[in-house]
Structure 1
């Protein structure tokens, strides 16, 4: 795999993220360096990078350059955004960075920054139509996604650091300054939404450290059961309540809030006000938090070279990326998926079963995703690998999936081998009826797993008979499949309990081909 260091010099922080990637196939984050630089501190109306922030930024980039030399990354992509873009001495900063570190820093325009964030959002969520909000330290970008492509965007100097320094006076902030900031944000955002989102509210995707910190605090306040920020939906009402609390506290007291990064305590309130106004202008009632942002947007031209750098299918890529990182026994995984889908299709063709257990296209897709990663826990150990796999599937972002969908996939991974079914303490993230569907899908996946017990893909086809209170699965094999048929018989009890039907697994006979040819229901 190739290694690339993505460097982002923002108004508040400078970050280096080290990715290992294989174009078109997979990527993973290897490391991350982060330094609070506050480049825009004290810029004022003159727009001058002051000497101390200038040196902080330069020092951070010296460290990043040293890291790149030590790790021998293949490529370095370095960008600067709002503070350097707006600074009257920004070119001098870029020249100093090149002279002292060898890093060629590219200053992004406001539109380039918006486009890059929009690309990250398009490859991190499954929605094609959305508004992307990126709140940085110096600026705020709004972008319109249409069919997953950047359609329009704009940038305003309303970032959390700049808004705190120029508008939000006092500690805690004075009411007059809060109103002034809200009015400035409203006057910026409302005309943009009127021009670019005229046909009603669209989903809003948000990125940037300010929003992620707000989401982290809200998760702590609400005892959210899943330790994941990407895909978390922060409601407008929850944000309003949190903003009110932040505005009532001094920076020192905010720093003690569970979930809040202490170095953002003095700027988080301004960011919350700006995000609240963006939500109000959008007309939507929540914002979906993105764990990806500018840095991932800069990665995608390398990961998805050519064209528009868009993943064909965000969910499919996420699942295969997870599989390839932990246990890429693709022949077995693909075969288990095929068997599970054959069983699913046979049951879903019976209207009473399909409606009783919500066996729709979404459930089928989740079953297929889980089948591809059901054995990832083997990367930890064979024993209890279903539980290791559950933790791997639930412990990281799965771009494209909602938290509800990710929980369901993880539960299927945990249930694929043995044991009884429960919600793993995550039931509050599921919808009514989801656990009934999980039970059936778990039963299907478990039978499919044991029908490839020898991992030799001996079972070539399945014929499923659904009768009065009985599901009979005929397994047609290429060679001796006694191990597979016997193992599947022993593990069919979960599916039987979920369906409240008897489930029989039998070896196919020479008549199986005739049955299939005459049109009997097959999986």
Structure 2
């Protein structure tokens, strides 16, 4: 594969090699993700000097990663080191040994850079305009505040999950006294930055420990949607997981679905830190971002090479474009039919026959553009494949609720299949939201069927009540034989929706 790019993230807890490719059509795609748990911060002595064993472990890992990169023909990976190497008093010696024995050059990120890259990834892959981010690694915790997607404050705290364990915990898991000591320490650290307190903004988490907490929450709730990006939790959810960890043994927690065995002894520090931060900020929303430091660095490199096509205000539209690229979806550029769908939906809602759409209206346009794209897999089961692919894809800028709505709209076939699809997801959407999706999906099914070729002759539509019936007039340019056939065949979706007979009429507009 061409245009592969690699980044080696040398963290305090783990060292990770991630291989990406990037194109305007498909966006940033992850192809390989290899992790080694090195716990480098554990090799720092009281003078913050990294011991020889730690440096040897780092070099051994980098040599193993080099072999992978050679197989992939990637010659110049980006290598970024964070807190463990940054804090090492013998940092220069570490860098020189690595260069001599591997030929690789490490860039040691400053605390400000580390915080910035996490912020950058978050604002370019979510639609949250005002928030705080927290990236908790093994040896440091970066917190930022941004408003209207612009960075306002940032700070790197000199503690992470590994350093908290080493400082406060004597065994595999903390005692009640040790947990209280961790909480008191973290609380005092956060209070030293007044801008953190009382903001009441969403807290967006980054990093492996946060991801594990999300996975634990998803498993304990039997959450039906896949993926952790933009998954939302509350302070009570965090407290419930904290309570679970307190009452089980170390061997039992190793068996918890969603918790990596290599984080079983350090996860408490992350839970307590996030709980404390939410309490101090007064936040009611904890959201996880799967995109963080590594994506932020890659995006900046793309920008330097003038390849960057990520924009603060185009997160969701870019995600739709990338779906088109990944699944070879032919763009639905028939704006007349998209406008016709939006117009008819508005008219039906105004007449009181269907509910109004309470989410972003652009979602309906995206649903039209993706309608039954699963036919690329199999035309006979286009609806099923569409629903599966959308509910199992990471869509930047879409909350889990919105992703489910998009899947229901884009896959609409009939009322029966709609009810089958929604059954496992009842708790995610309200009954009103489910009904909105069903109604809009039925209308979408009808209008999209009029696109018999890439360029349909339908350019507009109007509807009004004619006694107990509905007269639906479709305005066309040129021949409308195929469109008339499809309209007659598919009008049943509207009739079932409003429980009225639909009379179709066609008028040819003169081309001026």
Task: Quote the residue 2:319 is aligned against.
Answer: 318
**Once the 2 structures are TM-superposed, how far is the Cα of residue 120 of structure 1 from its aligned partner?**
0.8
Cα deviation digits, residues 172-196 of structure 1 (max 9, x gap): 312222111111111121342x325
Partners in 2 of 1:301 and 1:466 — Cα distance? 54
**1:384 aligns with one of 376, 381, 386:** 381
Paired position in structure 1 for 2:94: 93
Query: Do residues 253 (structure 1) and 243 (structure 2) align?
Result: no
Aligned positions of 1:95-244 closer than 5 A = 95-192=96-193, 194-195=194-195, 200-244=199-243
Equivalents in 1 of 2:282, 2:353: separation in Å? 35
Specify which of 332, 337, 340 is matched with residue 339 of structure 1.
Answer: 337
Number of matched pairs:
506
Between 237-246 and 124-133, report the one with greater CA deviation.
237-246
Q: Whole-Å Cα distance in 1 between the matches of residues 503 and 240 of structure 2?
A: 55
Instruction: Provide the C-alpha distance between the structure 2 equivalents of 1:417 and 1:321, rounded to a whole number of angstroms.
Output: 28
CA contact (8 A) 1:120 1:292 kept: yes
Q: Which runs of 5+ in 1 are unaligned?
A: 515-523
Matched, 1:402 2:399: yes
CA contact (8 A) 1:111 1:154 kept: yes
1:280 aligned onto 2:267: no
Residue 212 (structure 1) shift: 0.7
CA apart distance, 1:132: 0.4
CA distance in 2, matches of 1:247, 1:54: 35
Once the two structures are superposed, the pairs formed by residues 254-269 of structure 1 within 5 Å of their partners are 254-269=253-268
Secondary structure of 2:96 counterpart: helix
Provide the rounded CA distance (Å) in 2 between the counterparts of 1:276 and 1:46: 31
Distance 1:242 1:34 in 2: 25
Indicate the SS of the match to 2:398. Answer: coil
Q: CA deviation at 1:510?
A: 4.6
Report the 3-state secondary structure (helix = DSSP H, G, I; strand = E; otherwise coil) of the residue aligned with 2:78. strand
What is the aligned partner in structure 2 of residue 517 from structure 1? Answer: none
* Cα distance in 1 between the residues matched to 2:409 and 2:76: 39
Matched, 1:80 2:78: no
Quote the residue 1:359 is aligned against. Answer: 357
Whole-Å separation in 1 of the counterparts to 2:181 and 2:309? 40
Change in Cα spacing, 1:482 to 1:318, as seen in structure 2 (3 Å) is: same
For 1:357, what is the secondary structure of its paired residue? coil
Structure 1 residues 67, 172: CA separation in 2 closer, same or farther (over 3 Å shift)? closer
Offset at 1:355?
Answer: 8.9
Deviation at 1:390, TM superposition (A): 1.1
* Alpha-carbon contact 2:25-2:324 (below 8 Å) kept: no
- Answer with 298-307 or 139-148: which moved more: 298-307
TM-score by length of 2: 0.92
Tell me, yes or no, if the aligned pair for 2:16 and 2:34 is still in contact at 8 Å: yes
Distance in 1 (alpha carbons) for counterparts of 2:423 and 2:103:
50
Q: CA deviation at 1:418?
A: 8.9
Q: CA RMSD in A?
A: 2.5
Q: Determine if contact 1:4/1:74 at 8 Å carries over to the other structure.
A: no
- In 2: Cα distance, 1:59 partner to 1:372 partner: 49
1:295 aligns with 2:294: yes
Unaligned runs of 5+ in 2: none
Distance 1:64 1:158 in 2: 27
What is the distance in 1 between the residues matched to 2:12 and 2:491? 58
Displacement of 1:239 in angstroms is 0.8
Q: Give a deviation string over 1:405-431, Cα, whole Å, max 9, x none.
A: 100101112215896421142121102
CA–CA separation in structure 2 for the residues paired with 1:59 and 1:355: 67
Name the counterpart of 1:518: none
Task: Report if aligned partners of 1:347, 1:466 keep a CA contact under 8 Å in 2.
Answer: no
